[in-house]
Amino acid sequence: MYVAQAHSVRRYERSDAAKICLRKGNQQSNSAKNVSKVGDCLKCCMHCLPFVAADEIRQEGITVRTGSTRKGRWSMNCRALFNFPHGRKAIVSSLQLYSSSAEQKPKQQKTTFGPLKDEDRIFTNLYGRHDWKLKGALSRGDWYKTKEILLKGPDWIIGEVKESGLRGRGGAGFPAGMKWSFMSKPHDGRPRYLVVNADEGEPGTCKDREIMRHDPHKLVEGCLIAGSAMGARAAYIYIRGEFYNESNNLLLAIKEAYEAGLIGRNACGSGYDFDIFVHRGAGAYICGEETALLESIEGKQGKPRLKPPFPAEVGLFGCPSTVTNVETVAVSPTICRRGGAWFASFGRERNHGTKLFCISGHVNTPCTVEEEMSIPMKELIERHAGGVIGGWDNLLAVIPGGSSTPLLPKKICDDVLMDFDALIKVHSGLGTAAVIVMNKQTDVVRAIARLSTFYEHETCGQCTPCREGCPWLNKIMWRFVEGNAVPEELDMIWELSKQMEGHTICALAEAAAWPVQGLVRHFRPELEARMKDIPSIRQKMQDSLKDRLATT
């Protein structure tokens, strides 16, 4: 494209200048308007200026002339530039010209979030009130213009997903468009695979189960579109072994899609061949980790792999693979149909879109609900879950993102927003958006100790900090529950959790450590109150140690 210079009040750094400066030669004229091609910098000045398309220049009626330097020819806007000393700011023309590299007007930021309107809901059969089979899915708009979406190509699909601001819904919150683009490199002869993580084993989380049970065609269509964006040959859906009914519904939906020509050879008549396979797990929580999941599909022990190499390079069966969450894949068809900008209109910056929230615990009506990202936690619980049992003032704490995220006390829950960034600021996380509510009748120490027992049982034992740390965390937590702990153990359990964090192959050690850290951070007085007769406890510990030494 041919471009000409325009001018702005902003001073550009050299990194900006390298992208937008002129290249000598290839001059063309059009009614005394000379333009030049974009290229390498001539280094004729310290600060280059932004460009606009030549068509925009012509529309404004600006005359552009050429000048010369020792290194070649360059063009500048003579009416806008009265004086051009090197290294100084250019004078702004009366006409406001701009380009993609120039500053844009700041977007008006939203200040209120939720409730979500019914017409903006993606999962319209979340509660199973309608037919979940192909006929019902077609009546709700699924599979609409899927062929046209596929024919637009991988770059267009990934572009829409990037524009939407969709972040992974499995807990990590990695930008989905960026993750999918890792697979868009030229083929090296190996087949590519999309792997969907439906091994939903996080305590308190049940959103993916509802999608597969009541809206399976959203997932099937999403696999086709996401697979097309990555150039994948097939999709493997790894579903939790306990989800028997859900896997049956999903298998039937896949069969219907094959029979209708929506997937398989020449999917939707687009010329793209794509297959979907379902693999049932055997109940191991660790197989929810992406590389352990790949090992399990291959028939090996479900233990996480060292990275690098990452799955995008060496994944399933040694081929490039992308592992992604059920909800992330299931929303992609709606994003492509309604546009990335529509999806990005919900939620705060960097926290766009709608989200499935699972609300359980001490609420009047536990539920799974689709809401706008960044909705206040208090509004989410009171609007959709009927409020806390005993009223909001009876709230003790909330685990906002599944059992692996630190709990938050009521004073934080009063104002916190339900999105990735807001919860990170208060030392927690959105995770899987499984909201577990605890009122003041809860023994919060026992609740966290029960989670420690879960993680002790589910560790694969591959990494020493996790293999040894989880049992010790669990042991100390139950000493606090029973009132047999001593003050030194408070600092010990904090130190232990910090040593586990960030020293293992996968994130299970962090998942075990963070709930304990949240308890110590916000409920230290409660833990201290559990220490009853400390001198007698110390004496018992010393006697027990003497007995052990005597027997050895």
Structure tokens at 396: 């003790």
Residue 268 inside a domain? The answer is yes
Q: What is the pLDDT of residue 331?
A: 96
- The CA-atom distances, in angstroms, between 535 and each of 234, 475, 490, 544 are 65, 20, 16, 14
- CATH number of the domain at 466, please: 1.20.1440.230
Q: Which of 227, 224, 329 is nearest to 268 (CA)?
A: 224
pLDDT digits (tens, 9 = 90+) for 399-455: 999 999 999 999 999 999 999 999 999 999 999 999 999 999 999 999 999 999 999
pLDDT digits (tens, 9 = 90+) for 450-502: 999 999 999 999 999 999 999 999 999 999 998 888 888 999 999 999 999 98
Give the list of residues 6+ apart from residue 551 with CB closer than 8 angstroms, or none: none
Q: Are residues 267 and 317 in the same domain?
A: yes
pLDDT(10) > 50: no
Q: Are residues 9 and 43 in the same domain?
A: yes
C-beta of residue 293 within 8 angstroms of C-beta of residue 323:
yes
- For residue 99, what pLDDT band results from cuts at 50, 70 and 90? very low
Distance from the first to the final alpha carbon of the chain: 84
Taking all residues of the chain, what is their mean pLDDT, rounded to a whole number? 82
Structure tokens at 65: 């002339």
- For residue 537, what pLDDT band results from cuts at 50, 70 and 90? low
Residue 102 inside a domain? The answer is no
pLDDT(238) > 50: yes
Mean pLDDT across 206-213:
95
Residue 528 inside a domain? The answer is yes
pLDDT(65) > 50: no
Q: Are residues 263 and 399 in the same domain?
A: no
Amino acid at 355: K
pLDDT(308) > 60: yes
- CATH number of the domain at 178, please: 3.40.50.11540
pLDDT > 90 fraction of the chain, expressed in percent and rounded: 69
More confident residue, 209 or 98: 209
Q: What is the pLDDT of residue 74?
A: 36
Mean pLDDT across 517-537:
85
Q: Are residues 209 and 290 in the same domain?
A: yes
- For residue 531, what pLDDT band results from cuts at 50, 70 and 90? confident
Helix/strand/coil (H/E/C) assignment for every residue in 453-504: HHHHHHCCCCCHHHHHHHHHHHHHHHHHHHCCCCCHHHHHHHHHHHHHCCCC
* DSSP state, residue 287: G
Residue 103 inside a domain? The answer is no
Distance between CA atoms of residues 320 and 313, nearest Å: 5
* DSSP state, residue 127: T
pLDDT digits (tens, 9 = 90+) for 35-62: 333 333 433 343 333 333 333 333 333 3
CB atoms within 10 A of CB 466: 27
- Residue 68: domain span: 2-77
Q: What is the DSSP string of 240-258?
A: -TT-HHHHHHHHHHHHHHH
Mean pLDDT across 188-208:
92
Q: Are residues 210 and 314 in the same domain?
A: yes
C-beta of residue 24 within 8 angstroms of C-beta of residue 44:
no
Q: Are residues 357 and 336 in the same domain?
A: no
Please give the biggest Cα pair distance in the chain. 104
Q: What is the pLDDT of residue 253?
A: 97
Q: What is the pLDDT of residue 218?
A: 96
pLDDT digits (tens, 9 = 90+) for 492-501: 999 999 999 9
Q: What is the pLDDT of residue 210?
A: 95
β-strand pairing of 321-325 with 193-198: parallel
Q: What is the pLDDT of residue 35?
A: 35
- For residue 235, what pLDDT band results from cuts at 50, 70 and 90? very high
Distance between CA atoms of residues 164 and 362, nearest Å: 34
Q: Which residue has the tokens 């001593």?
A: 486
Q: Are residues 331 and 388 in the same domain?
A: no
Structural domain tally of the chain?
A: 4
Q: Are residues 251 and 385 in the same domain?
A: no
pLDDT digits (tens, 9 = 90+) for 143-173: 999 999 999 999 999 999 999 999 999 888 8
pLDDT digits (tens, 9 = 90+) for 264-284: 999 999 999 999 999 999 989
Mean pLDDT across 188-215:
93
Q: Which of 349, 313, 388, 450 is nearest to 113 (CA)?
A: 349
- For residue 538, what pLDDT band results from cuts at 50, 70 and 90? low
Structure tokens at 515: 């709930």
Q: Are residues 429 and 482 in the same domain?
A: no
Q: Are residues 326 and 383 in the same domain?
A: no
Across 26-30, 126-130, 472-476, the highest mean pLDDT is recorded for 472-476
